[in-house]
């Protein structure tokens, strides 16, 4: 599922292509992907200029000149392609927005959606989201408080979109690895130093992933060499039974908080109390 770096990559690549341009046409192939009748959708979307794109958590907002906006969540398997009819990938498209002879194709929207909202409804949806990892308001102190207040494993904490928005299964693994933290480490046991290190590593991993174009498989347009550039940089995620790049120990996959967590049992054991570490080690053997 696309996470903060993937959506940020889309935002950066799409902004110069679609902002300030009117939507000249729209095609809905799957009505379930939108939230209003097609007729209303067409009336509210066609001839509207996109005034601004914005990322909130894992969602992307297309602000229209009318004040309404389109809220995109790609969920599992969704992606976008921008180009001409001739360039479009041979895949089923659920929603299409046209800008003259260029089109923005929304593909793989099975769980994902593109919803039309009034400005206030969109605000309401975003209000349920936790703080953005890059928000200047997220100081080390505030982050420490957030961690201490919750009795969760590190993995569950980072996946909870009402606490932090934008981090999913992949980057939670990568951040825990860089911070040297076991994904089962309990947030309430974090010291101020742990919180500072985790915040620093979280931003550093996400920043590096954004600069490398995230991990999406498919390019966003013909000649796009940025999207997906981070895939080969993943240290632990989806690397079960492969050696850790840092110490050579095999990476372990374990279900934590009903999600798959990947980690190096050697590099990520240091932050557990001796008793917890012994218990977890026993389970892992
Ligand atoms: Zn290791």
Q: What is the pLDDT of residues 12-66, one digit of tens each?
A: 999 999 999 999 999 999 999 999 999 999 999 999 999 999 999 999 999 999 9
Task: Judge whether 58 counts as a catalytic residue.
Answer: yes
Q: Catalytic annotation on 2?
A: yes
Task: Decide if 133 is catalytic.
Answer: no
Distance between Cα 266 and ligand 1 center (Å): 5
Q: What is the CATH number of domain 4-127?
A: 3.20.190.10
User: CB burial class (10 A; 0-12, 13-18, 19+) of residue 271?
Assistant: buried
If 0-12 CB within 10 Å is exposed, 13-18 middle and 19+ buried, where does residue 147 land?
buried
Which residues are 26's β-sheet partners?
Answer: 97
**56 is a catalytic site residue:** no
Ligand 1 center from residue 239 Cα (angstroms): 12
Q: How many CA atoms lie within 13 A of 262 on its CB side?
A: 20
- What are the extents of the domains in the chain? 4-127, 140-284
Say if residue 277's pLDDT is above 70. no
Which one of 17, 30, 142, 259 is the catalytic residue?
259
* The two domains 4-127 and 140-284 share their CATH topology (first three levels equal): no
| Topology adopted by domain 140-284 | Helicase, Ruva Protein; domain 3 (1.10.8)
| Closest C-alpha among 221, 177, 183 to residue 202 | 177
- Summarised one tens digit per residue, pLDDT across range 224-256 is 999 999 999 999 999 999 999 999 999 999 998
Q: Let me know: does 89 contact 227? Beta carbons within 8 Å.
A: no
Q: Is 180 left (phi over 0), alpha (psi -120 to 50) or beta?
A: left
> Which letter, b or e, does each residue of 276-285 get, where b requires 16 or more Cβ atoms within 10 Å of its Cβ?
bbeebeeeee
At 156 the pLDDT is 95
């Amino acid at each position: 599922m696309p996470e903060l770096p993937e959506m940020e990559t889309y935002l950066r690549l799409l902004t110069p292509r679609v902002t300030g341009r009117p939507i000249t046409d729209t095609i809905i192939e799957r009505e379930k992907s939108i939230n209003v009748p097609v007729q209303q959708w067409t009336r509210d979307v066609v001839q509207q200029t996109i005034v601004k794109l914005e990322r909130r958590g894992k969602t992307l907002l297309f602000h229209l000149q009318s004040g309404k906006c389109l809220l995109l969540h790609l969920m599992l398997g969704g992606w976008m392609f921008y180009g001409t009819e001739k360039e479009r990938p041979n895949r089923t498209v659920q929603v299409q927005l046209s800008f003259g002879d260029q089109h923005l194709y929304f593909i793989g929207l099975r769980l994902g959606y593109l919803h039309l909202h009034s400005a206030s409804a969109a605000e309401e949806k975003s209000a349920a989201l936790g703080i953005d990892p890059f928000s200047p308001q997220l100081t080390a102190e505030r982050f420490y408080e957030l961690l201490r207040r919750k009795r969760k494993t590190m993995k569950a904490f980072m996946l909870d979109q009402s606490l932090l928005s934008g981090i999913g299964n992949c980057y939670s693994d990568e951040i825990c690895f860089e911070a040297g933290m076991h994904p089962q480490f309990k947030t309430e046991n974090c010291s101020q130093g742990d919180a500072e290190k985790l915040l620093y590593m979280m931003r550093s991993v996400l920043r590096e992933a954004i600069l490398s174009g995230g991990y999406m498989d498919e390019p966003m347009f013909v000649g796009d060499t940025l999207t997906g550039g981070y895939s080969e940089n993943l240290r632990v995620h989806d690397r079960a039974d492969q050696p850790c790049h840092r110490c050579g120990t095999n990476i372990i996959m374990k279900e934590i908080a009903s999600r798959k967590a990947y980690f190096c049992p050697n590099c990520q054991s240091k932050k557990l109390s001796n008793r917890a570490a012994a218990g977890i080690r026993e389970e892992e053997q």
